[in-house]
Amino acid sequence: MISIDCLSHKFSDIQAIIFDKDGTLEDSGDYLRNVAQKRARLIDAQIPGVGEPLLMAFGVNGLRLDPAGLQAVGSRYENEIAAAAYIAETGRGWSASLDIVRGAFTEVDRVMESTPAAMFPGCAGSIESFAAAGIKMGIVSAATTSQVVSFANYHKIQSYFQVLLGSDLQFAKPDPRLFQFACQEMGVDPARTLMVGDSSWDMIMGSNGGAAGCIGISWGRSAQPLAMADVSILDLAELKIRTVNQFIR
């Protein structure tokens, strides 16, 4: 039997851990902020005056990206719909508004560097330790599945994960069915699976999906505990694995 000790919390009889990607494993804040800024700039060039409101909607304030904001936690589709709504408010039709947004998003995709961002320090070592202990792992992200796979392949951690899922399913965060589907694909019980993420949507998804526990991770970005998290940590090193009476690390 595997237990996870986390600060004052102990999660017993754990089979698996599901991680978010952006802001949890991947230090992608600067990349996502640049994407949002370029998208807003291109749209503002066509519809003057919407750039600043769009940045606020995306969760960008100067050099800061809100880890709970739309750009950080929303799917591409959700970002498209939000941006198109701002354009539609200027009197343009919905179809034309969507065309402007999708054209801008596609152009940003073309010019932005596609290489995944770095992982947070110590992530690779923690992932190896979890796998060595016999814990199954998955990644569930608001990014597309291809982006999740690209991230895992680039960092050579794909062999440690049993499931890699993005936002291109019929349901997305914070729908608990996404967490439950990931558990089903791994062949594990949700009640014996932990959810680790950096946003309230991760916590809502895991909690409503019947997770054994929801762990918020901040990597020092915030001193405030994440809402709805059973426990909040600064980095993955705070998760201690125990098998029977023996510590693995």
Strand locations in 66-212 (E): 136-140, 163-165, 193-197
Distance, in Å, from the CA atom of 70 to the CA atom of 81, rounded to the nearest integer, reads: 11
Mean pLDDT in residue range 41-68: 92
| Position 74 pLDDT exceeds 80 | yes
Mean pLDDT in residue range 40-53: 95
Tens-place pLDDT, residues 123-165: 999 999 999 999 999 999 988 899 899 999 999 999 999 999 9
Tens-place pLDDT, residues 158-187: 999 999 999 887 788 899 999 999 999 999
* C-alpha dihedral sign at 159, 162, 167, 172: negative
Q: Which of 31-35, 69-73, 118-122 has the highest mean pLDDT?
A: 118-122
| Position 205 pLDDT exceeds 70 | yes
Instruction: Give me the phi and psi of 91, to 5 degrees please.
Output: 105, 0
CB 152 within 8 A of CB 164: yes
**pLDDT value at position 240?**
94
The amino acid at 159: S
CB 105 within 8 A of CB 80: yes
| Residue at token pair 């998955």 | 138
Contacts of residue 245, Cβ cutoff 8 Å, sequence gap at least 6: none
The 3-state secondary structure of 114-152, one letter per residue: CCCCCECCCHHHHHHHHHHCCCEEEEECCCCHHHHHHHH
Instruction: Enter the tokens of residue 60.
Output: 């960008």
Predicted structure pTM score: 0.85
Crossing angle of helices 51-58 and 29-46, rounded to 10°: 150
| Position 236 pLDDT exceeds 90 | yes
